[in-house]
């Protein structure tokens, strides 16, 4: 794996969506390349920061009720 490859796939690496072989190749490269290791650490910190700032908010109960009714009506209509 080359440094350009790391730049292109670092996000996929961090979320674990690379295949096993590419994941291992990237780890090997990062262990040998200080510049890429720095890039991965920085992206990892940035990713953790963004995730920590995201909050889950539940939909208001009225909206959930309306959506549930709409989905039931849709299912009923299409099942006939």
> What is the rounded distance in angstroms from the CA atom of residue 19 to the CA atom of residue 78?
39
Give pLDDT, residue 74: 87
The chain-wide mean pLDDT, for the chain, equals: 91
CB 3 within 8 A of CB 36: yes
19-56 pLDDT, tens per residue? 899 999 999 999 999 999 999 999 999 999 998 888 87
Give pLDDT, residue 44: 95
Please give the model's pTM, rounded to 2 decimal places. Answer: 0.63
Give pLDDT, residue 45: 96
How many Cβ atoms sit within 10 Å of the Cβ of residue 29? 17
Token readout for 59 is 């939909």
């Amino acid at each position: 794996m080359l440094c350009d490859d790391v730049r292109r796939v670092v996000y996929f690496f961090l979320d674990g969506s690379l295949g096993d072989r590419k994941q291992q190749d990237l780890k090997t490269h990062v262990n040998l390349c200080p510049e890429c290791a720095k890039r991965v650490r920085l992206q990892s910190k940035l990713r953790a920061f963004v995730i920590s700032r995201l909050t889950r908010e539940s939909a208001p109960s009225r909206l959930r009720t309306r959506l549930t009714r709409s989905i039931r009506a849709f299912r009923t209509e299409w099942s006939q």
